[in-house]
Chains A and B, each alone.
Chain A
Amino acid sequence: MRILVVEDDDIAAEYVRKGLMEAGHVVDLAPDGELGLEMARAADYDALVLDRMLPKRDGLSVLEEMRKDGDATPVLILSALGEVDQKVEGLRAGGDDYLAKPYSFTELLARVEAIGRRSDPTAAVTKLKCADLEMDLLARTVRRAGKNILLQPREFRLLECLMRNAGRVVTRTMLLEKVWDYHFDPQTNVIDVHISRLRGKIDKEFDEPLLHTVRGAGYRLQV
């Protein structure tokens, strides 16, 4: 993907750039809002990482300006202002996702890749597939190697989220936000427990595990 990172903190920007490049993406950097808007208009990016507090022009106004122009590039808003209401404000201004500082790079990478994929035309599918694991979103059924797997509604949504991001890391925070709609981090390992139950249903009786734990990051569905 071609990604534009608008961030005034040089060191942070450099880290993000380096990390995204290592993950196989092409990255441009913009140090302030004015330049960021200019660059976003000039080239066609697959995703934008936009800091909220920027010199010259703040992130939200850049975003609003882009949306006014009809630019639908997916945007991940990045900010120290992590309160839920501000999150809502950011999403309302046209952001696709919101990440509060401090974020781990894996979290950022997972989210950028997730929003980048969202604009993919193949996103509006009714069937998801990962190796021999199949999910029918309309019939709400899951099969692996032709065998029906019964899931609770929440487990189904959990697996759906993982399958939509198959091959990529999905963080615990992302799961909490997307599956439970919680915008706070529990102190305990609740998500791990739910994952292990899901794992018991989709992996236990099969030779090859699909649901992997990525240390310090989250989970990944992969062959």
Chain B
Amino acid sequence: MLSALSKLYKNTLFRLSLLGAVFFVVALFLALGNVYRLTISSEIRQVDKSLAAEVEEFQTLLDVGGLIPVSREIFLRSGSGDRHYLLTSKNQNGEDMVMGSLGEQIVTLKNQERTVIGEVGDADFTKVDFILVIPATDSEPAKERRMRGLSGYLQIDGKNVAAVVASRDVEVTMRTAERVKNAIFSSSAIALFLGLISSWYVSRKFTQRVEAFNRLATDVRAGHLDRRAPRNYSEDEMDLLAEHLNEMLDHIDRLMKAMRYAGDSIAHDLRSPLTRLRTRLETAATEIKDPQAEDTLFAAADDADELLKTFDSVLRIARLEAGERREMLSELNPKPILDDIAELYEPACEDVGLTFTSEIRDGHIISADRGLMSQAVSNLVENAIKYTPKGGAIHLSLLKNKEGRSEISIVDNGPGIPEGSRQRVKERFVRLDDSRSLPGSGLGLALVDAIADLHRAVFSLEDGMRHAATGRPGLAARLTFPRVRKVKSHASTATTKAS
């Protein structure tokens, strides 16, 4: 579930449309907030304003006629409609005098039962929200009304003479406000939910089309240059992308064919004269009676051979890299291939004073081509033979590695390859300085690399067996094969290609 979500979140289009949905919800929220501000808030402000005007009126009355007109006014206005008041002061005898409708009823402030008087500030008038509890009568149950009030002291000559609270019943407005708030939140939530759903839907639709492109890219990478992107001719951007991709693939296909043709032509054109050269040298060598000249001619013929072999290897690597022969791979047990190699090279190793051992286990299945596999392993064994000094050891093994993958290793206790050069030696014509004195074209490991790549195997070079006496690190060349996947598409791919 969590991984499905994280996968969904990785989808670009899902993220984009989700972002769009979030923006929309925020905009909706702001717009509704504005509606709230323009209606409910302005109504509350209106109440505040009229309260302020009223309190000012009381102050004016006090200034003109003292407390009597104020208390009369409060008495008259109290309880009419939605108005409620409270006036407390001391009479001439110093007794507390309370007037107004708020005095008789229970007033709740912030859920605590207290008098509003407590909230009367010392200095300026303060706004105060409270709940007025109207006790139950015979006909009606007790009622709670939300109130908006303004409280403070009326003053004469800077001296507090009476505390006053003027308030309005704002229950109706507050209820409307609640409903509006609920509407804002619920509609935002619905919008967000719909946004999520549509993001998921859109991304799913889109992903299906993108998947088609991904499959195409994988196929093309695997060497199937005849594949094309599916089109629906709607001329939307995806369709145009498909069209452009297909044009690009056509172009690449043409170039590849041209290159192959050029390669074949060069092969043909160069090989024929070189063959003649070789034949002439060989014929001359067998006919000549002078043994010294014969040696020279044979050596020249060998040089021509070397040249042609290099040329062959380059062409072969190029073809392998193009993935042309990938459809020739089949599932096979590599043991017989390695047994053959071991049998072929064991005497050769003994001959040059190397110990050859092998551990070739059964029960492996890899997707491979016998000829190419043999060539890769043979190249690696020959490399080991070439570089390991007399008295050294070479070990060939086929084992399952820690991840359960089939791994072919050729390990020696020769000079090894410094870590920094291990990637470089896999490139064409790269030879390390120490090996320049030995024969070779610098294509052996490049060929192994190309073969490994074709098999989707990993070709790695590591330290091998440490030679105890000299401290040579040795070299371990490994080919790690992917597990054989039971994927039908591969088989169908091969058939399409064949037809």
Q: Indicate which residue in A103, A154, A188 contacts B385 across the interface (CB closer than 8 Å).
A: A188
The yes or no answer to A223 lying at the interface (CB within 8 A) is no
Question: How far in angstroms is the closest Cβ of chain B from A31?
Answer: 14
Given contacts A154-B343, A215-B298, contact A190 B348 (CB under 8 A): yes
Nearest 3 pairs of A and B residues by beta carbon: A102-B275, A80-B268, A101-B271
Question: How far in angstroms is the closest Cβ of chain A from B449?
Answer: 16
A80 to B347, CA, bound (A): 33
* Contact across chains for B374 and A106 when beta carbons are under 8 A apart: no
The yes or no answer to B244 lying at the interface (CB within 8 A) is no
Q: Indicate which residue in B283, B371, B382 contacts A188 across the interface (CB closer than 8 Å).
A: B382
The yes or no answer to B272 lying at the interface (CB within 8 A) is yes
Given contacts A15-B283, A80-B268, A104-B279, contact A183 B274 (CB under 8 A): no
Stretch from A33-41, A64-72, A82-90, A136-144 forming part of the interface with B = A82-90
* Contact across chains for A80 and B267 when beta carbons are under 8 A apart: yes
Closest-by-CB residue of B relative to A190 is B348
Seen from chain B, the residues whose Cβ lies within 8 Å of a Cβ on chain A are: 264, 267-268, 271-272, 274-276, 278-280, 282-283, 285-286, 298, 301, 304-305, 308-309, 312, 315-316, 319, 325, 328, 340, 343-345, 347-348, 351, 371, 374-375, 378-379, 382, 385-386, 439-440, 444
* Contact across chains for A12 and B275 when beta carbons are under 8 A apart: yes
B residues less than 8 Å from A12 (CB atoms): 272, 275-276, 279
* Contact across chains for B386 and A101 when beta carbons are under 8 A apart: no
A84 to B285, CA, bound (A): 30
A104 to B309, CA, bound (A): 13
Q: Indicate which residue in B274, B276, B319 contacts A11 across the interface (CB closer than 8 Å).
A: B276
Given contacts A80-B267, A81-B267, A106-B282, contact A216 B298 (CB under 8 A): yes
* Contact across chains for A186 and B378 when beta carbons are under 8 A apart: yes
- Residue among B271, B301, B382, B439 with the highest chain A CB neighbour number at 10 A: B271
The yes or no answer to A178 lying at the interface (CB within 8 A) is no
Given contacts A101-B271, A186-B378, contact A197 B304 (CB under 8 A): no
The yes or no answer to A93 lying at the interface (CB within 8 A) is no
The yes or no answer to A182 lying at the interface (CB within 8 A) is yes
A189 to B285, CA, bound (A): 21
Given contacts A83-B319, A180-B344, A216-B282, could you give 13 more A-B pairs where the C-beta distance is less than 8 Å? A12-B279, A19-B283, A80-B267, A101-B274, A102-B305, A104-B278, A104-B305, A105-B279, A186-B382, A187-B382, A188-B382, A190-B344, A197-B347
A19 to B286, CA, bound (A): 11
A183 to B278, CA, bound (A): 21
A residues less than 8 Å from B298 (CB atoms): 215-216
Contact sample, A vs B, 15 pairs, CB 8 Å cutoff: A15-B279, A80-B264, A80-B268, A80-B271, A82-B267, A83-B319, A84-B371, A101-B274, A102-B304, A104-B301, A106-B282, A184-B374, A188-B382, A190-B347, A194-B347
Count residues of A near B (Cβ-Cβ below 8 Å).
35
Closest-by-CB residue of A relative to B311 is A102
* Contact across chains for A83 and B272 when beta carbons are under 8 A apart: no
* Contact across chains for A189 and B348 when beta carbons are under 8 A apart: yes
The yes or no answer to A193 lying at the interface (CB within 8 A) is yes
Closest-by-CB residue of B relative to A84 is B371
B residues less than 8 Å from A207 (CB atoms): none
* Contact across chains for A85 and B351 when beta carbons are under 8 A apart: no
Question: How far in angstroms is the closest Cβ of chain B from A217?
Answer: 9
B residues less than 8 Å from A120 (CB atoms): none
Q: Indicate which residue in B279, B316, B348 contacts A193 across the interface (CB closer than 8 Å).
A: B348
Question: How far in angstroms is the closest Cβ of chain A from B20?
Answer: 53
Question: How far in angstroms is the closest Cβ of chain A from B252?
Answer: 21
A200 to B386, CA, bound (A): 25
Closest-by-CB residue of B relative to A188 is B382
B residues less than 8 Å from A105 (CB atoms): 279, 282-283
A residues less than 8 Å from B286 (CB atoms): 216
The yes or no answer to A132 lying at the interface (CB within 8 A) is no
Given contacts A15-B276, A216-B286, contact A188 B268 (CB under 8 A): no
A residues less than 8 Å from B275 (CB atoms): 12, 101-103
The yes or no answer to A185 lying at the interface (CB within 8 A) is yes
B residues less than 8 Å from A106 (CB atoms): 282
Question: How far in angstroms is the closest Cβ of chain B from A220?
Answer: 14
A182 to B372, CA, bound (A): 9
Q: Indicate which residue in A15, A80, A189 contacts B280 across the interface (CB closer than 8 Å).
A: A15
The yes or no answer to A53 lying at the interface (CB within 8 A) is yes
Question: How far in angstroms is the closest Cβ of chain A from B13?
Answer: 43
Closest-by-CB residue of B relative to A105 is B279
Closest-by-CB residue of B relative to A9 is B272
Question: How far in angstroms is the closest Cβ of chain A from B276?
Answer: 5
Closest-by-CB residue of A relative to B324 is A85
A residues less than 8 Å from B439 (CB atoms): 187
Contact indicator per residue, chain A 99-124, by CB within 8 Å of chain B (1) or not (0): 00111111000000000000000000
Contact indicator per residue, chain A 167-207, by CB within 8 Å of chain B (1) or not (0): 00000000000001011111111100110110000000000
B residues less than 8 Å from A184 (CB atoms): 371, 374-375, 378
Question: How far in angstroms is the closest Cβ of chain A from B114?
Answer: 98
Question: How far in angstroms is the closest Cβ of chain A from B223?
Answer: 13
A residues less than 8 Å from B276 (CB atoms): 9, 11-12, 15
A154 to B344, CA, bound (A): 9
